[in-house]
Amino acid sequence: MSNPGRPQARGQARKEHILAVALRIFAENGYRGASIAEIAEGCGLSQPGLLHHFPTKADLLIAVLEYRDKLDAEKFHVDDPAPGTAALRRYVDIVEHNAHLPGLVKLFAIVTGEAAVSTAHPARAWAVDRYEKLIGGLAANLRLGVENGSIRADVDTTAVARRVFSMMDGLQLQWLLNPEQVDMPGLFRSFIDDLTVEITA
């Protein structure tokens, strides 16, 4: 563990503080509605002080998104192979985890929505790549299941992977709009349970 008294560790801690503040402000306002002035103020920095770390609002958004993707990938070992339906269970855990982090869910919902409607959005390439990686990774694990005989050979693995992330995204919207009545993790789990039955050989 690094010593937080050393300059490099202090610099890292300051960057992580900025990313946490920026996440909250982007999550509530989207990229378009968030201002560098508000983020700087939330960090206790001047605007030039903030821009010293991240030269533009777009750089800061991309840094927040990549940082959160990296934390989740490490926490849930999403890059490790998980042949067959084990890969589906991983996403049940992630949705369960996300239900305790509405700010993070909001961030992904609003930034993906903005990027989906505008090819000029700074997170457009991030969003396109993210889905291709998520879908490609899950489809590859499902194909390993086809190869080891645990998943039916006639399953369209890419189509199933697209369904899984669609369900996750759509349930997030319903949950954010109505958190009291929508049991996001329960609904997602039962979807995955039914899907598992459907594709099991």
Binding mask 35-64 toward its own copies (x if CB under 8 A, else -) reads ------------------------------
Report the 10 Å Cβ neighbour count for 25.
21
Is residue 29 involved in binding its own copies (CB under 8 A)? Answer: yes
CB of 158 to its own copies, least distance (A): 9
Interface positions, 164-183, toward its own copies (CB under 8 A): 165-174, 176-178, 182
Which amino acid does the sequence have at 82? A
Question: For residues 108 and 8, what is the distance between their CA atoms, to the nearest angstrom?
Answer: 30
81 touching its own copies, by CB under 8 A: no
113 binds its own copies (CB under 8 A): yes
78 binds its own copies (CB under 8 A): no
Torsion of CA 152, 154, 159, 161, to 10 degrees: 20
Q: Are 54 and 18 in contact (CB under 8 A)?
A: yes
Q: Is 200 helix (H, G, I), strand (E, B) or coil?
A: strand
Does 69 help bind its own copies (rule: CB under 8 A)? no
CA angle 35, 37, 42 (to 5 degrees): 100
Query: In terms of CB distance, is 144 or 184 closer to its own copies?
Result: 184
Burial, 1: exposed, middle or buried (Cβ in 10 Å; 0-12, 13-18, 19+)? exposed
Binding window for its own copies (CB under 8 A); candidates: 15-23, 80-88, 137-145, 187-195: 187-195
What residues make contact with its own copies under the rule CB under 8 A?
Answer: 27-30, 32-33, 106, 109-110, 112-118, 124, 127-128, 131-132, 135, 156, 159, 162-163, 165-174, 176-178, 182, 187, 190-191, 194, 198
